[in-house]
Structure 1
Amino acid sequence: MKSLLLCLLLPFAFQEHTYTVGEVMRHARQLHNDSAVVQITGYVTRKLRDNNYMFEDRTAEIQVDIDPKYLPKTPFTDKDAVTIKALVQYEINKPITLKVSQPVSND
């Protein structure tokens, strides 16, 4: 009986929740403490310096650190929606940032 219940509930355990930038900013402390990988969809609007970019969706904007190895092979513009999976970096009195941990997809 336990194994049947486990088989039924297992698919729900691995479903990824897509966050908005606003949700990430509101829950940054908890997401940072949980070391949770968040998935967000939006637009990379500009390059700030080195590997830092400004990312935004309809709710807010946030800085993301994208290592060049995680950038997509095909170029994209600020009009192309991209999905990133990143770790939340939260420190008191510093801006909330995201560190991309998986390849950026521009489907």
Structure 2
Amino acid sequence: MKCLLLGLLLPLCFLAQKKYYTIGEVLKYARQLTTDSVTVKIRGYITDKVGKSTYLLEDRTAEIRVDIADKFLPEKPFSDREEVIVEALVQYGINRPVTLTANRPVTHD
């Protein structure tokens, strides 16, 4: 009985884990990720502030603009040398660059 219960619950542990996307994957599958309303989880470095609440997020594959509201910024300031985790919605439009909009707090790794 215990083995059956363990066999049924073990796959749920793997389903609960969220996949980390690279920025390259987000750019490649932006149209699909937008229509599915998926929150993507990306590890990268915030390298520059380009607007009031717009930042450049960069990883080894590419860079992308991320809109991060003040309420989602970490309390402790971060530098471009610290890896952060951003959870955001993908914003895709025809003849527009792909951007992200943070919908959860940005965390340090």
What TM-score comes out, normalization by structure 2 length?
0.90
Residue identity (%): 51
Match of 1:48 in 2: 50
Report the 3-state secondary structure (helix = DSSP H, G, I; strand = E; otherwise coil) of the residue aligned with 2:50: strand
Q: 1:11-90, aligned counterparts within 5 Å? A: 11-90=13-92
> Deviation at 1:7?
2.6
Distance 2:83 2:9 in 1: 35
> Deviation at 1:9?
2.6
Runs (4+) of structure 1 exceeding 4 A deviation are 3-6
Q: Give unmatched runs, 5+ long, in structure 1.
A: none
Q: CA RMSD in A?
A: 1.6
Amino acid at match of 2:78: F
Q: 1:90-105, aligned counterparts within 5 Å? A: 90-105=92-107
Report the 3-state secondary structure (helix = DSSP H, G, I; strand = E; otherwise coil) of the residue aligned with 2:104: coil
Amino acid at match of 1:36: V
Amino acid at match of 1:97: T
Q: Give unmatched runs, 5+ long, in structure 2.
A: none
Distance 2:8 2:93 in 1: 37
Distance 2:89 2:16 in 1: 17
> Deviation at 1:12?
2.4
Distance 1:6 1:35 in 2: 28
Higher gyration radius (CA): 2
> Deviation at 1:6?
4.8
> Deviation at 1:8?
3.4
